Amino acid sequence: MRKQASRLFYGNVSDFLFTVCQRGAEAVLKAEIARLRPELRFAFSRPGFVTFKIPSDAKLADDFDLGSVFARTYGFSLGRVEGTDAETMIREAWHVAKEAPHAARAHLHVWERDAALPGDRGFEPGVTPLAEEVGQQIAEAAGEITPTVNHLAKSGQRILDVVLVEPSAWWIGWHRASAPPSRWPGGVYSLQTPEDAVSRAYLKMAEALAWSRLPISPGDHCVELGSSPGGSCQTLLDRGCTVTGIDPAEMAPEVLERENFTHLRARSKDLKRRTFRGMHWLTADLNVAPSYTLETVEHIVTHRDTNFRGLLLTLKLMEWDLAEQIPEYLERVRSWGFEYVRARQLSYNRQEICVVALRRRQMRRKPFWREGAARQP
């Protein structure tokens, strides 16, 4: 499919970029944007929501890549509506939306900023019933066009965004869908936790696979360092992979009894590297400092007996200050012979990031959303 040409967006004094992140990640996001895009000036923030002023002479393509690890999603701001009367706010929201490119008004994404940290007291990011209800009401009030609400966007589609920053203060904006998270409402990969999932890592791994487009196929052999109790191994087993889990701690019985699963009850560094011969993909989710995870993985993947196609590594940011070292972490992974290396704080991550590495960029899986703009599973 030919990529449609990007439209250049010329900022003026009233223009802002809005970004959405995990609660608590605002400061590292601000520091990251100051490094990546010094022309963007921090403007306003609430937990999980940060805006930046776009200078009047900035030229940004409407699908420009912010290149941020911590911004779940982002877009061009159009304005805010505030009030206590939902009907009036809905009318005003649609009025503000008329400033968006016409095509954006056919697709609406509505979500609330996160109410808590992912995993805290059962909270998971995603479209809430309130956001869905507001979305449906805006669609009904739209009149000339009835936009779709919270559908998975297709590549190149322009999307109208309504962020419920507070129940009484909504931020209206728009963006053009491009990379996978820009197609998901609020940048969140929406998934119900299966009843038999033994840990939240099930969600993390599912989102990591969707974001990274790692071409893992049924029958491939994956190894996970730090596999107990086994949620992420379940995700890989559900995709038809053969999985070896390495962890000194016990695996959940539901995982141990799966036919294609093997548990090596050991610390990763205590195993001979020939153990990893013939394996295709390495994932790591160790509850240790990033330097330890990287040292452990380096020891395995740089050995002549191993030939991994790609990696998915969780790096725990025990302190937020470690975020400054992310560019060095990625450089280190590249030095092991992986051409394509990216990082993202996934919506289901806690204070940690996910790093994907592939031998070559072209190996990435064809995006499934090309097949249609269906609602997310």
Residues 303, 296: contact at Cβ < 8 Å?
no
Using the rule CB under 6 A, give the single segment among 170-178, 211-219, 230-238, 337-345 that binds ligand SAM: 230-238
Assess 244 for contact with ligand SAM (CB under 6 A).
no
> Is residue 83 part of the contact set for ligand SAM (CB under 6 A)?
no
State in Å, rounded, how far the first CA of the chain is from the last one: 24
Q: How far is the CB of 289 from ligand SAM (least distance, A)?
A: 11
351 binds ligand SAM (CB under 6 A): no
Instruction: Supply the minimum distance, in Å, between the C-beta of residue 298 and ligand SAM.
Output: 13
**Residue among 131 and 225 whose Cβ is closer to ligand SAM:** 225
Q: Residue 248 interacts with ligand SAM (CB under 6 A)?
A: yes
Residue 268 found at the interface with ligand SAM (CB under 6 A): yes
Any contact of residue 126 with ligand SAM (CB under 6 A)?
Answer: no
- Identify which of residues 172 and 198 has a Cβ nearer to ligand SAM in the complex: 198
List, in sequence order, every residue forming a beta bridge with 77; answer none if it has no partner.
173
Binds ligand SAM (CB under 6 A): choice among 126, 135, 187, 230: 230
Contacts of 331 (CB under 8 A, 6+ apart): none
For ligand SAM, the closer CB: 77 or 293:
293
Check binding of 73 to ligand SAM (CB under 6 A).
no
Closest to ligand SAM by CB, 5 or 266 = 266
Q: Is 199 in the site for ligand SAM (CB under 6 A)?
A: yes
**Distance of closest approach, residue 338 Cβ to ligand SAM, in angstroms:** 21
Burial of 38 (0-12, 13-18, 19+ CB in 10 A): exposed
The DSSP-derived string for 249-317 is SPPPHHHHTSTTEEEE-S-GGGS-GGGGTT--EEEE--SS-HHHHHHHHHHHHTSTT---SEEEEEEE-
Helices 326-334 and 290-301: crossing angle, nearest 10°?
Answer: 10
Question: Which run of H or of E encompasses 200?
Answer: none
Q: Which is nearer to ligand SAM, 137 or 212 (CB)?
A: 212
State in angstroms the smallest separation of the CB of 192 from ligand SAM. 17
Q: Which parts of 92-121 interact with ligand SAM (CB under 6 A)?
A: none
362 phi, psi to nearest 5 deg: -65, -15
Q: Which is nearer to ligand SAM, 248 or 337 (CB)?
A: 248
Distance CA 231, CA 258 (A): 13
Cα dist. 341→25, 61, 112, 240 in Å?
A: 22, 23, 31, 25
Q: Which string of x and - marks every residue 280-299 that binds ligand SAM (by CB under 6 A)?
A: -----xxxx-----------
Whether the Cβ atoms of residue 17 and residue 40 lie closer than 8 Å to each other = yes
**Three-state SS for 367?**
coil
By CB under 6 A, the residues from 11 to 40 that bind ligand SAM are: none
The residue (of 36 and 288) whose beta carbon lies closer to ligand SAM is 288
**The one among 172, 247, 347, 348 contacting ligand SAM by CB under 6 A:** 247
Q: How far is the CB of 249 from ligand SAM (least distance, A)?
A: 4
Tokens representing 297 are 């993985």
Contacting residues for 233 by C-beta, under 8 A, at least 6 apart? 224, 227, 243, 245, 251, 255, 261
Size of the site for ligand SAM (CB under 6 A): 21
In angstroms, rounded to a whole number, what is the distance separating the alpha carbons of residues 47 and 38?
22
Asked if 232 touches ligand SAM (CB under 6 A), the answer is yes
Residues that bind ligand SAM (CB under 6 A): 199, 201, 225-232, 246-249, 267-269, 285-288
